[in-house]
Amino acid sequence: MKSPIIAIVIPCYNEEQALPISADKLLSVLDQMVSMGLASSESYILCCNDGSKDKTWETISQLHAKDNRIKGISLTHNRGHQYVLLAGLMSVKDHCDAAISIDADLQDDPEAMIEMVKQFNQGKEIVYGVRSSRATDTWFKRTTAHGFYSLQKKMGFETIYDHADYRLMSARAIDFLGQYGESNLFLRGIIPQIGLETAIVTYERKERVAGESKYPLKKMLSFSINGITSFSAKPMRWIFMVGLILLVVDLIVAIYVLISYFEHVTTSGWPSLMLSIWFLGSLILMSIGIVGEYIGRIFTEVKHRPRYFIDKTLWD
């Protein structure tokens, strides 16, 4: 049997510092897999520039000039990790047998790829990389991430615990992924829906090799909300927030009403009326907010916007 062509897909946003180090390391892992007879020598790396503001694209071009196993695509502007990853996977799907997506910062152990490819060669079509520990993540990141997993579980949709977007997918699985037409992408939610034979490979999560996180709290939050509603209907969410604030105000009002009641300075009927107005008001606003989240989703889905445009390609 011929060994498979493996494509490594890296989303890159402002990664000029990390990329040269990562590319080096990934090439050496590729070499290792080729020499072990696991992967074909035609295997390659695709760096996907997500509209970086620094010299990421220049760095990719230099790497490509040095070694043409490093290829590149560049989006017209910053679309976010999920979209640039999709762009990368769609670009490689007709030019490989399987693709592995990994972040540019090598926080996810590249050596785990060897086990992933072994699993692929044994017929697994989706292999998830799962972190065995999050020791190097901050307490905050760890807790919020775990909170998010349990929230997803409560919302009733399947994701893989402690799996980010480090995974191997067969060309066929990527082709199936391409048939999902939604514009609000949450790959970790979609991919388990594809089905096919899957496996899990565990590894230690490390520190970034260089540069800093491109996922500040703000991006993390919006990513999580997207993961649940697949859309951010901001004005609707504000309605929900106002409802929530009113609920707190409601408590203060309740204390005031009770004090007035026990001091006998109220007319009969006033306390119950006051309490219902505030409580129902906040409840109604929150409900409208929740309905709004779903309307917002319908709103973007019906627009069927193209999800990315590839600006430049290095492919020879």
Do residues 227 and 186 touch, judged by C-beta distance below 8 A? yes
Stretch that binds ligand UDP, among 79-87, 152-160, 170-178, 183-191 (CB under 6 A): 79-87
Could you say which of 11, 110, 129, 292 contacts ligand UDP (CB under 6 A)? Answer: 11
Q: Which is nearer to Mg ion, 5 or 10 (by Cβ)?
A: 10
CB of 204 to ligand UDP, least distance (A): 14
Residue 16 touches ligand UDP, criterion: CB under 6 A: no
User: Helix 18-35 and helix 112-121: axis angle, to 10°?
Assistant: 40
Residue 81 touches ligand UDP, criterion: CB under 6 A: yes
Give, as ranges, the residues between 104 and 143 that touch ligand UDP (CB under 6 A).
104-105, 107
Could you say which of 5, 7, 9, 12 contacts ligand UDP (CB under 6 A)? Answer: 12
User: Helix 81-92 and helix 171-178: axis angle, to 10°?
Assistant: 120
Q: Which is nearer to Mg ion, 69 or 214 (by Cβ)?
A: 214
Do residues 94 and 3 touch, judged by C-beta distance below 8 A? no
Which strand (E) or helix (H) includes residue 288? helix 270-303
CB of 43 to ligand UDP, least distance (A): 20
Residue 105 touches Mg ion, criterion: CB under 5 A: yes
Exposure of 50 in the CB half-sphere (CA atoms within 13 A): 22
Q: Identify the DSSP state of 63.
A: H
∠179-168-228 over CA atoms, to 5°?
A: 55
By DSSP bridging, strand 98-101 and strand 310-314 are unpaired
Could you say which of 50, 97, 162, 250 contacts ligand UDP (CB under 6 A)? Answer: 50
Stretch that binds Mg ion, among 43-51, 98-106, 138-146, 271-279 (CB under 5 A): 98-106
Alpha-carbon gap, residue 133 to 291, rounded angstroms? 38
Task: Let me know how many helices (H) and strands (E) the chain has, helices first.
Answer: 10, 8
Tell me the sheet residues that pair with 108.
Answer: 205
Could you say which of 80, 129, 243, 296 contacts ligand UDP (CB under 6 A)? Answer: 80
Site string for ligand UDP, 176-215 (x = CB under 6 A): -------------------------------------xxx
Spell out where the chain has E strands: 6-12, 44-49, 70-75, 98-101, 126-133, 167-170, 198-204, 310-314
CB of 214 to Mg ion, least distance (A): 7
Q: State the binding partner of 104 from Mg ion, ligand UDP, none, CB within 5 to 8 A by kind.
A: ligand UDP
Could you say which of 91, 107, 230, 282 contacts Mg ion (CB under 5 A)? Answer: 107
Could you say which of 16, 97, 103, 162 contacts ligand UDP (CB under 6 A)? Answer: 103
Segments in 122-216 forming alpha helices (H): 139-155, 171-178, 187-194
In the complex, which residues of this chain contact Mg ion (CB under 5 A)?
103, 105, 107
Residues engaged in binding ligand UDP (CB under 6 A): 11-13, 15, 50, 78, 80-81, 84, 103-105, 107, 213-215
